[in-house]
A = this chain, B = another copy of it.
Amino acid sequence: MVLDGDVAHVGLTTGLEGVRLAARALPGHDLDTVDLSVRAFGTTLGAPVLISCMTGGTGDAGPVNAALAAAAQHHRVALGLGSGRVLLQGGDPASFEVRDIAPDVPLLANLGAVQLAEVGLDGCHELVERTRADALVLHLNAVQEAVQPEGDTGFGDVLGRIADVVAGLGVPVVAKEVGFGMAADDVRALVDTGVAAIDVAGAGGTNWARVEGHRDTDAGAIAAAFVDWGWSTHDSLVAAMGVLGDAPADRRPLLIASGGLAHGVDAVKCLCLGADLVGFGRRLIAAGAEGPERATSALGTLVQQMRIAVWGIGATRPSDLGTAHLA
């Protein structure tokens, strides 16, 4: 699990530090009136938040996932699971069994898009059924694969395979990067596949080339050139809005902003820039490892920060937010 070690981007930040919220000395209403709830994945969330897909398959992943599930259920936010590849390959399913802990929130299963060649639509069906997930997240991780000695770099047919899953799976499909962000052309191509949501997973948080570099010497040497690879979360978001901006909100995929979000103020900045949901990943891992109470409290802090920030710029609801709230 990536809790420690030097795995951050170097010389590249989320870009959100350069975005400033237009604070108000006079919010104009009581903090109590703020309502962060939103509709997503066919249900109502307590806040426009997703716990990003992270861990699964190993022994210690179980308790972490259980803790994050308890937090998600408590605050009514969406919950992503780590890659289910090991599950499909016969690994221990225990760490993925969180549906009973988080019965009322959207649960998202996860798989590498490049592995669709291997597992096919059948594998997707199996994964969604066994995890009792509400949706499937397919992640794009080209550079992460490329720096690995045995990485799977057959990305030639990935787009077509994503479109097939969208057409055949029967639950919403989400496409995401893993921390290098997306170009406008990537977003455009994903929209055409019909995915229900796009998570830019921008740069500024975890750098997956560096993570692989810690696992293997050769990968480490190669990864050294990619410490500032990719698009920042801010730039990815702006690029995505350039593509999605014109489409009516109900006729385009949900836009999810993740990648290095440090707190609720970063989250509100992303909402102002156009995101529908925000994802927190590594920020929650340490609390998750300490158990359900700490995870629930850590997630509660993030949501409370979002609530205060929304109020502090004079807004009441996520749907109020826009670039007019930026300084």
Contacts and interface: CB of A to CB of B under 8 A. Distances in A.
A32 interface: yes
A229 B312 contact: yes
A262 B224 CA distance: 10
Question: How many copies, total?
Answer: 4
A318 interface: no
11 contacts: A23-B230, A24-B142, A25-B140, A28-B156, A31-B153, A32-B153, A142-B312, A143-B308, A146-B308, A185-B314, A229-B312
A247 interface: no
Contacts of A263: 224-225
A264 B155 contact: no
A31 B145 CA distance: 10
A221 B264 CA distance: 11
A311 interface: yes
A17 interface: yes
A142 B29 CA distance: 11
A308 B222 contact: yes
A1 interface: no
A62 to B, nearest CB: 26
Contact of A146 (B33, B177, B311): B311
A25 B265 contact: no
Interface of A: 11, 17, 21-33, 140, 142-143, 146-147, 153-156, 158-159, 177, 180-183, 185-186, 189-190, 218, 221-222, 224-226, 228-231, 235, 262-266, 301, 304-305, 308-309, 311-312, 314, 327
Given A183-B22, A185-B24, A143 B229 contact: no
B305 A142 contact: no
Interface of A (DSSP majority class): helix
Nearest to A304: B222
Contacts of A147: 308
A311 B222 CA distance: 14
B143 A29 contact: no
Contacts of A155: 26-31
Contact of A182 (B25, B153, B312): B25
Nearest to A314: B185
B27 A301 contact: no
B186 A25 contact: yes
A167 to B, nearest CB: 18
Contact of A24 (B23, B186, B221, B314): B186
A142 B283 CA distance: 27
A177 B142 contact: no
Contact of A229 (B31, B265, B301): B265
A183 B24 contact: yes
Contacts of A28: 155-156, 159
A327 B231 contact: yes
Instruction: Please list the 7 inter-chain residue pairs (A to B) with the smallest Cβ-Cβ separation, ordered nearest first.
Output: A31-B153, A225-B263, A225-B305, A225-B265, A25-B186, A25-B140, A146-B308
Nearest to A114: B30
A26 B46 CA distance: 33
